[in-house]
Chains A and B, each alone.
Chain A
Amino acid sequence: MKKSKRVITRRDFIRTGSYAAVGGLMGLPLLSYAADKKTQKSRAVLIRDNKILEPGGSLRKSNLEEIFDEAVTTLLDAEDPASAWRQLVQPTDIVGVKSNVWGPLPTPSHLEATIKKRLMAVGVKEQNIAIDDRGVRSNSVFKKSTALINVRPMRTHHWSGLGTLLKNYIMFVSTPWMYHGNACERLGAIWNKSHIKGKTRLNILVMLTPLFHGVGPHHYSRRYTWPYGGLIVSTDPVAADATGARIIQAKRHEFFGKDRPISPPPRHIEAADNKFDLGNSHPDRIDLIKLGWQKDILI
């Protein structure tokens, strides 16, 4: 153990109340520190549609496009989707869309296609757009990218507590396991690497059928997903993730009927705010706009 470093222990978290609070932000320790530091709020849009999923669970594509456009337009105070996207990218940009292919709960391919359509509508050339996950490090478009769009579904995760937008960038490093310590607290460091820093224009956290609890080696059971029918969109990945985390926590509370914190606590969200200065995690610093279906919104 390094002697010079101050050891952070559970007692530090107990002092801030993050292991004791019920109905608050269990699992997001030290958020109060972050709240004191920041002065500028982040905007996040949570949009839901109770008809986005067919009774059998398949996706209604037109509904998805509609809520996605409305969320992006609202987020950027734009008149229409085209002008919103013109705020995000230039026709000369080379754009990597960082998606997520995790088998049981991948990013919907129609959402990927919609993002590509919107980029091309701005004038970005098709050959300058790539959608990828595990191959981003060898993808020629990603290698020379000038802009990134980050999109993935929200789910619980064995080591990081939650598979978040922040965690989605772990494929940009050659040694992902180096970031697994202490519930993947250091994930934010990846966002400050030179080939990533400042490139992300938009973050889309897919909350259509989030996974709120994991079982087994493969960490998945359909029983622990539910038709939330939402998207969270923000230019601040921390704000989007923190909002999603609160919804997941509330769902766990509702489902299990007792305080059952996300395990392990998704420390990387707070650390992305407090240590790596990537955005706002505290609700007081998030201007959350809620659109669409409000029933059982859980936040």
Chain B
Amino acid sequence: MDFKAFMKNFHFATARISHCLAVLTLSICTVIMTQTADADSLKKLRARLPGQISGWKAEPEDRIFDPTTIFSYINGAAEVYKAYNMRHCLSRRYINPNGPPIILDIFDMGSSEDAYGVFTHDTDGEVMDVGQDARYRPGWLSFWKHRFFVSIFMEEETTAAEKAVKELGRAVAAQIPTKGSRPSILLLLPQEGLESESIHYMHHPIVLNYHFYLADENILNISSRTDAVLASYHREGQKALLLLVLYPKTENAVKSLTGFLKHYLPDADKTGAALLENGKCAAVRLKNRLLAVVLEADSRELAESLLKSVKHNPD
């Protein structure tokens, strides 16, 4: 190699290394900036939280948990929050000498989609007008707004504590000025017969298996790169459960369809439908990068009608 060629290669290599270093530096900066922004966001909200409410007074010290330390705080369920990309959790206890402690947990989920998603993990309870969606069950209020999922829990149920929990919920929601958007995959759900309280948004297979145990392997390849929504339907006295999974690329959807047919519906007919052992019908259909699966329907007609009415994704 002559000197000229050597220098040309040298400059080329140097340029590539510089480019790689620049990309690496940018990535590190982005991660640091995102983490800082997360912490700032929760920090700002924390500064606005009420110090007392209806006779309950905040303890002097709040606690902040990250995706690693959250396991020391929440035994068991912490993985749900991790499955929805939890960034931080702020925990504050409110004390009243004449009542049970009230625990406020604010989870910064990083995105409104994930805040909505973790809210849909448990939608039992009475609908309340707090935040963007809220539920109250005996002893526990939960709601989501913007990128935050908020849980307010009383250690023992009393009328006064219930009133304080609801007031605290409204006060916290009022301190979150921005509203968030729901996941766009929800727009693809057919509206007729949709039981809106049954919607579960997810992008982790453990969440699907929690709501509807499908298989001991991730046969639908649900991951952080996919959006999925599970919803119940009730049409003319018949019920069905529909799952939509939106993949990054059509080939991912095709591969998942193949795996699903192989492991779950090997007896599907050419339309993708099969009769299950419990007398229900299951059916699957591919629409570009969207896989629509009726996991269970009371009749084949309902399964087919649901699949037909699934809206096409923007592709």
Contact = CB atoms under 8 A, between A and B. Distances in A.
B74 A217 contact: yes
Contacts, number: 101
Contact of B263 (A9, A215, A219): A9
Interface in B121-172: 122, 124, 137-140, 142, 151, 153, 155-157
B213 A13 contact: yes
A20 B278 CA distance: 7
The DSSP consensus for interface residues of chain A is loop
Contacts of A185: 216
A297 B134 CA distance: 37
A182 B206 CA distance: 7
B209 A183 contact: yes
A218 interface: yes
Contacts of A217: 74, 77, 81, 105, 151, 153
B314 interface: no
Contacts of A218: 74-75, 77, 103, 153
A1 B259 contact: yes
B219 interface: yes
Nearest to B125: A215
Contacts of A159: 76-77, 79
The DSSP consensus for interface residues of chain B is loop
Q: How large is the interface on A (under 10, 10 to 19, 20 to 34, 35 or more residues)?
A: 35 or more
Interface string A172-190: 0000010011110100000
Contact of B277 (A5, A14, A157, A183): A14
A265 B213 contact: yes
A71 to B, nearest CB: 28
Contacts of A9: 214-216, 219, 263-264
Contacts of B76: 157-160, 163, 219
Contacts of A177: 71, 79
A223 B77 CA distance: 19
A223 B158 CA distance: 11
B252 interface: no
Interface of B: 71, 74-77, 79-81, 103, 105, 122, 124, 137-140, 142, 151, 153, 155-157, 206, 209-210, 212-219, 221, 259, 263-264, 276-278
Task: List the 10 shortest-distance A-B pairs measured between CB atoms, nearest first.
Answer: A221-B139, A158-B77, A9-B215, A158-B76, A216-B140, A7-B263, A8-B216, A14-B277, A7-B217, A223-B138
Given A219-B77, A222-B155, A264-B210, 15 more contacts: A1-B217, A1-B218, A1-B259, A8-B215, A11-B277, A14-B277, A158-B79, A177-B79, A215-B138, A217-B74, A217-B81, A218-B75, A218-B77, A221-B139, A221-B140
